[in-house]
Amino acid sequence: MDIILKNKTLEAALQDEASYLLERQKHTRYEIVGSPKEMRRVLILGAAFVITADKDNKVQVLPRRSIYIIDGVIKEVYAGSKIKIPRNKIDIIYDASKRSGIVVTPGFINAHAHPPMYLLRSSMTLDKGNIVDQVAKMAKLEAKMRGNDFFLGAVGDFTEEQKTGITTTLSHYAVFDPIEKAARLTRHNVINAFSVVSNTHPKNSPKLAEKYLKNKSKYFSRPALAIHYLHRASLEQLKQIKKLVDKYNVLFTMHAAETEVWVQECVNKFGQRTVEALADFGLANSNLILSHAVHLSEEEIRLVKKYKIGIVHLPTSNKIHKSGEFKYPLFVKNGGAGQVALGTDSVISKNSLDLLSEALQMRIMHQDRQLVLYEDLFKMMTSQAAEILKLGKVGRILPGYRADLAFWKLRDRGFMPYNEKQPVSLIGNMITHGGRHVRDLMINGEFIITNRLHNLINESKLMTELQEGHMRLRKRLGDK
């Protein structure tokens, strides 16, 4: 057992000695006004640019904007870098104009992830060897996870996502409580989609999920339902799921048509292709989120459009696992492009947990047949994802919206050089030079990362814990 756990819970140890105590003394962009008990009222002063979809869903790159926030909600966005709000109504000022300034974007939204799998990073499938064997080996290692492992992996995952500007994640996994605990610790906005049918957790069931749905107001994360694949569920289980979706109006997600083999499994079991079967079961509606959705027929894509089903495109994962090519041009042709969000999947299926590189991957994957505009990719990571996941007023920098914000240094290779006469070029630069870390990050009006350091987690301790946790798994598996 590690030394740090002798006297404390893992949770307490991870919070301990958080680097912000030291760093706060060196703040230069932060000015605390007076001696407030809480930092409820925040003024982001004179950001070099604010990039956001507007109320008409057009992406804007707005120079010199200030943002006033109270209790986690954006109250005002105004032009200029003057303090127009009386100082007695401000607890903290973040100077976003200094030293070339800061670009502020909405926090990104990751529509598909398996956070505990972070602990399995060294089984990354880009390694040599056959992909099928590697996935099988990884699953054996995953089956050895227990106790704190799920929580530790999820903390590793959420904090890495936060560093790349992500503030909301849909987690699809077979455990609920460890995800809830990690979300609470990192203050990450999490849709906690609990697998009601699971090989690794045979006790999971729709009945167990109802316990979480009933008590949803008690949780920090937002409960939702999941199954791994459609063909693994029985008709009876699907009936129970439909009841829960209708009764509690919750999201229901699954891996859908990721490979041709799974489509065939579905046809063998239910006599229909994936989306057709879901429509028949009464599960096709705007609460349904299908990840991958690679092998859909054009008729199924029409059903996706008709029933307003949310789709999560995972181009890197599809490439690594040789799943096939998502039919984005057919989504465009059938008017369904507005229903597509992006996701990272787990560290087994992607290089780093960020969406900027995923957006670039999408653009490259489809460029021979369909140009995907940078502005459209930006919406897929922000406003459009928020709509698909029914997040309410999230994903835009407008009054009334939740203050989930990512702060990026302008004087950085990720942006410069850009065309000052066409600042929209910043979006293309950001995506093509993507995969970098934020300078600061705000979730629900609270700074989670300041001066590139996490405020809630001691990252060096986290690395040690993850490393030891990973080797414990290998030992349990009997690896030499």
Which residues make up the interface to Zn ion (CB under 5 A)? 345
Least distance to Zn ion, CB of residue 152, Å: 20
Q: Are the beta carbons of 269 and 231 closer than 8 angstroms?
A: yes
Nearer to Zn ion, 300 or 345 (CB): 345
User: Taking Cα atoms as reference points, which of 101, 85, 94 lies closest to residue 445?
Assistant: 94
Nearer to Zn ion, 42 or 254 (CB): 254
Nearer to Zn ion, 345 or 387 (CB): 345
Nearer to Zn ion, 66 or 357 (CB): 357
Nearer to Zn ion, 152 or 256 (CB): 256
Nearer to Zn ion, 221 or 455 (CB): 221
Nearer to Zn ion, 142 or 345 (CB): 345
Nearer to Zn ion, 345 or 376 (CB): 345
Least distance to Zn ion, CB of residue 253, Å: 9
Count of all residues that appear for the chain in the document = 480
Dihedral of alpha carbons 412, 354, 284, 248, sign: negative
C-alpha to C-alpha distances, 369 to 103, 327, 328, 363, 364, nearest whole angstrom = 32, 10, 9, 10, 10
Q: Which tokens is 239 given? A: 């009936």
Least distance to Zn ion, CB of residue 292, Å: 7
Least distance to Zn ion, CB of residue 112, Å: 6
User: Taking Cα atoms as reference points, which of 409, 331, 374, 307 lies closest to residue 96?
Assistant: 409
Neighbouring CB atoms inside 10 A of 190's CB total 27
Least distance to Zn ion, CB of residue 114, Å: 6
Least distance to Zn ion, CB of residue 349, Å: 7
Nearer to Zn ion, 184 or 228 (CB): 228
315-336 burial, b at 16+ Cβ within 10 Å, e below that, comes to bbbbbbbebeebbbebbbebeb
Least distance to Zn ion, CB of residue 154, Å: 15
Strand order in the sheet with 189-195: 108-113, 166-173, 189-195, 222-229, 252-256, 288-292, 310-313, 340-342
Residue showing the smallest CB distance to Zn ion in the complex: 345
Least distance to Zn ion, CB of residue 291, Å: 6
Least distance to Zn ion, CB of residue 321, Å: 10
